[in-house]
Amino acid sequence: MTTNFTTRSMAASKWLYAGILAAGVAATVLLSPKWVTPIFAWIAPGCLLFYFRHAAMRFKTLLFILALLTAQMVSVYNVFPFPWPVLGVLIPINIAKLMVIFLLDKWITKRSNGFIATLVFPAAYVTKEFIDSTFSGGTWWSIANTQYSFAWLAQLSSVTGLAGISFLIYWFASVAVWTIGRYYSNENYRRGIITYACFFTAIMVFGATRFYSDTNNTKSTVKVAGVSVPTINMLEAVYKDVTSQTVNINLKTSIVSKELQLVNSAMLPFIENPDSTRFVNGYKAMYKLHDSLFAASKKAADGGAKIIMWSEANAIMPRAMHDAFIKRGQNFAKANNVYLLMTMGVFDTGKLTADKLFLENKAVFITPDGSILNVFHKNHPVPYAERSKPGDGKVPVIATPYGRLSVSICYDADMPGSMRQLGSQQSDVLFLPSGDWYAIAPYHTYMAAFRGIENGCTVVRQASGGLSLVTDYRGREQASFDFYNPGEKLWSANIITGHVNTIYNTIGEAFAYLCMAFSAVSIIHLIAGLFFKWKLSIGKRNGKLEPAL
């Protein structure tokens, strides 16, 4: 049976518990995509867990729920491109999932104080993260994403995926709280600390070895360039055509700001009926946008780039312009002897309805001889925010003189299950045109880098509104460019390509499934214990010494 730590610590002030809860909330907020402070991943879960297990306060659970609600609301503000009514549904659902984790941990540890009980909390959290990543929008809220800069730990994803990193972090919290409880109860805790320390040390040795060694025996190099042209000028021009008013939007403006929402709303009549006589300024800005993309690409080609890619849906246009624009890209690639990955946001005209998928978010890969190598449609449009037609779910792996090249778009890389195709098909490079915004940069880029570590390939992420980054199979940075730097949004670099087999390629999410199985066994054990206790109470009421059968 567990010791009553709360009873032994009655001298502790309720304000202390409130302070611990507040620290957990603050640390959770500082982990959000807007701040991404990695050290707080090792603090926030422990503070919240300690409070929930041991705080002796009235309305403790209510305060805990309110604290989680506060942390979630601050963390998601400006991060998700969803209106508050949608967030008002998603946040409570997420809090309900978290409460299941903390309640399960408390109920189990109340009945068993052995070291194995420390596994309940991390296994349950990994189960939640895995379910979320599979069914609820990807890996956005996996705590593992915050550890990208902890390079040795990041290598664990080549074995377990993100699940192993998350487990280690949450296990640290559970072991820390378990140790404190046993210390104040005068029980032995050293074996538990030693056990965790041994696992942690082994993971660090593996990570350091992998990070500093180079097992890529098939690597080659190629000069790659990334191009982004801000689309905000086109939005402002269309807004002027619709309202006869001039507006200037800062590139760092919040994606949910009133100003940007007004400008975006002006695009609706343009999409429904892009009449060139009505939208004079809009077309002028659109043509300038297209010309700027090719002008920057020409500069990259003249600088020696062999593969040029644009950021997500950078070339916006109505369907009527589609064929001529692709032909222009083919002529450009042939004239400059380059591979061109041109990204297009092509919209269908006509009356917009709530369920109409009017946008094609795609990337067209063109060879140096001007032929179309591949046309890729974004497989995972952003839920609730992007009304584009999804692709077929496949990630292409295309043989070229520069290796086996793959293409996906932005949010696709938030789905590890889909990205496992990179490993199974031994892709050398993933080209990932993307579109971010200020509040999620560079967090979203770091998320994508884990797909390269998991699947043993280079990731080239070209982002508007964020950080463009090239990482190898270890997550080591080869090149980077910040969209918010002044001047032209153009970079180029010689990058190393090549594929390395990983354990994750073979076992996939086996560790996550193991955590799910452990959580299921824990729940069954808890239910069985409660049932046995209920039967025992019935037996006692019937005057029996044995539980009723």
pLDDT reported for residue 549:
37
Nearest residue to 145 via CA among 53, 68, 33: 33
Within a 10 A sphere around the Cβ of 190, how many other Cβ atoms? Answer: 9
pLDDT reported for residue 548:
43
One of 3.60.110.10, 2.60.120.10, 3.30.70.600, 3.40.1390.10 is the CATH number of 220-229+294-505, namely 3.60.110.10
Compute the average pLDDT of residues 299-312: 98
Within a 10 A sphere around the Cβ of 546, how many other Cβ atoms? Answer: 9
Q: For every residue of 233-275, which 3-state class applies, written as one string?
A: HHHHHHHHHHHCCCCCCCCCCCCCCHHHHHHHHCHHHHHHCCC
Instruction: Enumerate helices (H) and strands (E) in the chain, giving the number of each.
Output: 19, 13
> What proportion of the chain, given as a percentage, has pLDDT over 70?
95
Compute CA distances 423 → 156, 194, 397, 406, whole Å.
16, 35, 10, 11
The domain limits of the chain are 5-213+525-541, 220-229+294-505
Token digits for 403? 């290796």
- Round to whole Å and give the CA distance between 169 and 167: 5
pLDDT reported for residue 544:
55
Angle between helices 162-184 and 510-541 (to 10 degrees): 40
Q: Is 96 exposed, middle or buried (0-12, 13-18, 19+ CB in 10 A)?
A: exposed
- Round to whole Å and give the CA distance between 149 and 35: 14
Q: For the whole model, what pTM was predicted?
A: 0.94
Q: What is the pLDDT of residues 239-285, one digit of tens each?
A: 999 999 999 999 999 888 888 989 999 999 999 999 999 999 999 99
Rounded to 5°, the CA angle 448-466-226 comes to 80
Q: What is the pLDDT of residues 235-247, one digit of tens each?
A: 999 999 999 999 9
Q: What is the pLDDT of residues 204-229, one digit of tens each?
A: 999 999 999 998 887 899 999 999 99
Compute CA distances 155 → 54, 134, 152, 189, 500, whole Å.
35, 22, 6, 29, 13
